[in-house]
Structures are given as structure tokens and as C-alpha cells.
Structure 1
Amino acid sequence: MMDPDTPQKPINAPGHGKPMQSAIIIYVLYGAGVVFPLAALAGLIYAYVERGKDATLDTHLSFQIATFWWGLLMIVVGLVLMLFIVGFLVWLFWFVWLVVRLITGFQLADANQPISGTEMFGLKAI
């Protein structure tokens, strides 16, 4: 029998169970951001808020923050290049780049593994 004066931790206390849950939520928000851009912005804000809590999680958060800012740059460049019709190609590249980064990052987060870098010109998380 447990001592009634001993405080008990809740089953789902922060930092227990799924340390990568924040990263997984952000990957989902970024995916939804393709259709609902405010979801990606919410993911970015969440990534900044969650930084500094866990070293492994921080590798994902840094990757996600970089994904947002580089993606935004590609979207703007694509918009400018719409004047020359090649902007659609930039947007197509951005979409493929984003999907691959989200899938590979999500797989690593689901396996509780850090992101140690990227390969294939920043396309794939490793």
C-alpha cells in the first residue's frame, strides 16, 4: 500500500512517456499548413516555445524551424518568379522538399531518435 502523504506524479506528466510528442504535433501542423497556412505558423510558434526542454527534441525543433523559414523563402521566390512562369517549378520543388522533410523527420521523432543532419541537399532528415 502506498503512503497517502507521498505525492504521486500524474501518469501523463510532462517529460514522461512520449518526449517527441511536441515534434510530432509540429510535423502534423506543418503538413496541415499546406492547406491552412495558419497551422504552419502555429507550428512555428510551438517549436519556439518548446525549445530547450530536451536535447533530442531540440534537434527536431531546430530542423522544423529551419524548414519553416527556408520554405517561406522558397514560396516568396516562387511568387516573384511567377512573372516568368518558372515560379510553379519552384513551388513544386518546395512541395516535394516539404513532404520529404516532414515524412523523414516524423519517422525519426516517432522512433525517439534525434536528427543528426540532412542529406540529398537538405531534403531528407537523418
Structure 2
Amino acid sequence: MSDYDMGPGNGPRSPAEDKDRTTAIIIYVLYLVGFAAGITAVVGVAMAHSKATHDPVWRTHFDYQVRTFWLGLATIIVGGILSLVLIGYLILAWWALWTVIRVVKGLMLAINNEPVDDPQTMLW
């Protein structure tokens, strides 16, 4: 069994779990808005880091969000440095596509009260 094994039923079962769902959705939206105003992504990752939940469904989302932010930041740094030799622009384009796919996937799963299958994945 993994740390993310789900019990029976994936829907909100308590006000605390419903609050976790709302928080997860807000963080995904902050990440999307972060494309225009980067500070919202920082607020989102701070919220995800600070969210302590014992519900395995929502823990998968918060872990996935934290991983999305930090892998994305690393990619932006590498892409920014390598943009001096032009290849960085392809890396930054990859980061934008990767981020949108991860955020939309996570948002759709959160809306449907479903866990992220593998929150530790580097892809989607």
C-alpha cells in the first residue's frame, strides 16, 4: 500500500474534506493566474505547503501542486539561463505547456473529487 491509497468513496465526506477540495481548486486557479502575475503561484505553493490534511485524496493534490511548482521553477531557471544560447526558449515553451497540462488535469480531478493517480510523477 502506498501513502496515497484511497478508502471507499472519493466524494467529500466532511466539511474539512470539502474545505480541502476548495483549497486545492483555489491553488490550481492561482497557478493558472500565475502566468500573468507570477506572485500568485508563490501564494499557491505556500498554501499547498502549509496545508496539512490526513485525507489521502486531497493530500495527493497538495503534493502534486508542490511538485508542479518546484519542478516548474527549476525548469524556468534552466530555460532562462539557456535562453542566452536560444535553446532555453524551447525549454520555456515546454514549461508553459507542461504547466498548463498539469494544472488543468489536477483542476479537473479536484472538481470531480478524484485523487491524482501519481502525484510524484514528473510528467502529467
Find the aligned partners of 1:99 and 1:63 in 2 and give their Cα distance.
13
Q: Pairwise CA RMSD of aligned residues?
A: 1.9
Residues 47/16 of structure 1: CA separation in 2 closer, same or farther (3 Å cut): closer
CA separation in 2, counterparts of 1:98 and 1:16?
A: 26
* 8 A Cα contact 1:19 1:112, kept in partner: no
TM-score, normalised via structure 1 length: 0.80
1:22 aligns with 2:23: yes
Give runs of ≥4 in structure 1 deviating > 6 Å.
none
**2:117 match: secondary structure:** coil
CA contact (8 A) 1:57 1:114 kept: yes
Residue 41 of structure 1 aligns to which amino acid in structure 2? Answer: V
Higher RCO, Cα 8 Å, sep 6+: 2
* Superimposed CA distance per residue, residues 73-102 of structure 1 (whole angstroms, 9 cap, x where no aligned partner): 000000110111111100000000000001
Counterpart amino acid of 1:57? W
Aligned length: 110
Identity over aligned residues, as a percent? Answer: 36
Q: Which residue of 1 aligns with 2:3?
A: none
Q: Does the C-alpha gap of structure 1 residues 95 and 16 become closer, same or farther in structure 2, counting only changes over 3 Å?
A: closer
Amino acid at match of 1:107: M
Gaps of 5+ in 2: 1-13
Tell whether 2:49 aligns with 1:56: no
Report if the CA contact (8 A) 1:23-1:109 is conserved.
Answer: yes
CA contact (8 A) 2:20 2:53 kept: no
* Contact map agreement 1:100 1:123 (CA 8 A) in 2: no
Aligned pairs for 1:1-126 (under 5 A) are 14-15=15-16, 17=18, 19-117=20-118, 122-124=122-124
When the two structures are superposed, what TM-score results if normalisation uses the length of structure 2?
A: 0.81
Q: CA deviation at 1:24?
A: 0.3
| Gap change, CA 1:48 and 1:83, over 3 Å in 2 | same
Say which one has the larger Rg.
1
Deviation at 1:53, TM superposition (A): 4.4
CA contact (8 A) 1:44 1:65 kept: yes
**Alpha-carbon contact 1:29-1:42 (below 8 Å) kept:** yes
